[in-house]
Chains A and B, each alone.
Chain A
Amino acid sequence: MARHLLTGYCLLIYAFLLLPILVVVGASFNAGAFLTFPPQGLSFRWYVVFFHNEVFLNAIKTSLWVAAVSTVISSIIGTMAAIFYVQHAGRWKESIRLAMLLPLLLPEVLTAISLLFFVYSIGMGTRTIAAMIIGHCLITLPFVFINVSAAMESYEPSWSLAAKSLGAGPLTRFRRIMLPLIKPGVIGGCLFAFIISFDTFTISFMLKNVGTATLPIQLYDYLRTNFTPEAAAVSTVSIVLTLFIVVLSEKVLGLRIHRF
């Protein structure tokens, strides 16, 4: 009896978690001009509107580009730091872990504002997309670090040593021995980094400029003044893109995300 009650309760919570997402997806197929419930028939018209809207298409391109570049940068920096953390940090281990997780522990809104003032005070400004990419690297770095250092914990330093005794140089040792063994952690980290960057709002909102708005920013701007289901169509495409990336990395690259 108690067990069934618990299961029923959990199902309610899962429904609660999925509800707003399903509502958005459902609203995108609404034939009417406004978000009404029950919907006035099914239609793809808002997808057609969206695929002709340069503003949203450019925003998607910007988002994908920023996410790709910052994932590459933060995965390299984060992987190097994770190797150092597990193999060489010694008594500095705890401090390094704390420092690497700092962007996650500090309130994002404060980090975003601090970075905005800083890029202006050093004369960099937000004219180029560089400031936004730096911001995205900061907030994605902890996710790469968590995933790669978890994979590194089960890596035996003696494996590198064996390769070294057989004459492999440092780069070969990394490429042929270490990287294949910690690959799941690296891919998991990259995936997290990409999705966080693709979806993040506050950092992009503070560091955006004309022409560098990412999809979440564009969507937010649109939602403040418009109530058509076009936003729902855009959101649905964004959800499908994210799912596609997750499934792709799971099926093609054989990913195992590090669980909390």
Chain B
Amino acid sequence: MSLRAKSLKPFALIAPAVLLLGVFLVLPYINIVVMSLRNPGSGTPYAPGFTLSNYLRLFADSFYLEQTANTLVIGFITTFVCLVLGFPVAWQLAKTQMRFRGLAYGLVLSPLLVGIVIRSYGWTILLGNNGMINRTLIGFGLIDRPLALMYNSLGIVIALVHVFLPFMILPLMSALQGIDPSIEAAARSLGAGRITAFRRIVLPLAMPGIQAGCILVFVLSLSAYVTPSLIGGLRVKTMAVSVVDALIDTFQWPFGSAIALMLSLTGAMVVMLFARLTRMKWKAN
């Protein structure tokens, strides 16, 4: 074997992956950017020629601006609620020696084994006007009329929190596990109270996990389709639902591409802003 052939051989290992990602991920992404600049067609998905009108239409239409704002708000609230709900659970999994730790870990992971359609379906059974929660509350005489839990942003947030909570708990848990308990003990021995030690020592050290969890949940909830579609119904639509509608129901490929790209860009900008802000803040302390 010549020296040249020998040094090239390892590249054969990575070649199929490069080919798959290059042809079926990178090229399609270039293609969709081009698509978003095409002229809308009538009868066909798109017409020849290029234009910026798809983006202009997006910014001119208050319906879409409102929807973008609504989608972002749902993403923020979902992320925040996941963080607040998930932190104590991650703490317990990471820090305490309990007998059923394996079981608890399995319970956190188990929802991930069940498809997102089924989990959202479970929430429609629970949250509907005739659903379990409303019937139970009426049965106990606590309310007279059913609470509006479904077909609104509240229902979407409840279901999204459920769907993405494991993605918050797991990174938080691994970050908390990595913190040496003696550092906190040292802070306490130097006179820091429980809360001060948590705020000044644990929180900054757990920051990478908090960041990872928040970014993951935020991005996932922006692009979630099934949950908002089943829980929100026709009344509340998030951006991802509008995008798919524009493509599948009305075949507006260039416009649909423009919405999809704007949604992703907005999400990416929020994520970068968040990463920068949190890092700066903890450095300053």
Q: A residues within 8 Å of B by Cβ?
A: 3, 6-7, 9-10, 13-14, 16-21, 23-24, 27, 35-37, 76-78, 80-81, 83-85, 87-89, 96, 99-100, 102-103, 106-111, 113-118, 121, 134-135, 137-138, 141, 195, 198-202, 205-206, 215-216, 219-220, 223-224, 231-232, 235, 238-239, 242-243, 246, 260
CB distance from A188 to the nearest CB of B (A): 13
Is B31's CB under 8 angstroms from A108's CB? Answer: no
Residues of chain B in range 9-35 having any CB-CB distance to chain A below 8 Å: 10-11, 13-14, 16-18, 20-21, 24-25, 27-29, 31-32, 35
Q: A107-B222, A138-B20, A220-B226 are in contact. List 18 more A-B contacts (CB 8 A).
A: A6-B92, A7-B98, A13-B89, A18-B110, A20-B123, A77-B20, A99-B21, A106-B264, A107-B219, A109-B240, A110-B29, A110-B260, A137-B20, A141-B21, A201-B116, A206-B248, A216-B115, A224-B230
Q: Determine the residue in chain B with the shortest Cβ distance to A231.
A: B121
Q: Is the CB of B114 within 8 A of A21?
A: yes
Q: How far is the CB of A27 from chain B (nearest CB, A)?
A: 6
Q: Give which listed residue, A84, A99, A220, contacts B13 with CB less than 8 A.
A: A84
Which residues does chain B contribute within 8 Å of A223, judged by CB atoms?
Answer: 117, 121, 124, 230
Total contacts A to B, CB within 8 angstroms?
Answer: 219
CA distance A189 to B248 in the complex (A): 33
* Sample of 14 A–B contacts (CB below 8 Å): A16-B162, A20-B121, A21-B118, A23-B126, A77-B16, A78-B17, A96-B14, A117-B28, A117-B257, A118-B28, A134-B20, A141-B21, A199-B115, A201-B225
Q: Are A205 and B222 in contact (CB under 8 A)?
A: no
Q: Are A138 and B126 in contact (CB under 8 A)?
A: no
Measured CA separation A10–B92 after assembly (Å): 8
| Residue total for B at the interface (Cβ-Cβ under 8 A) | 75
Asked if B189 is at the interface of the complex by the 8 Å CB criterion, the answer is no
B91 partner residues in chain A, CB cutoff 8 A: 6
In contact, B107 and A235 (Cβ under 8 angstroms)? no
A141 CA to B20 CA in the complex, in Å?
10
Of A103, A113, A135, A216, which one neighbours B260 at CB under 8 angstroms?
Answer: A113
Which of A107, A206, A220 sits near B267, CB closer than 8 Å?
A: A107
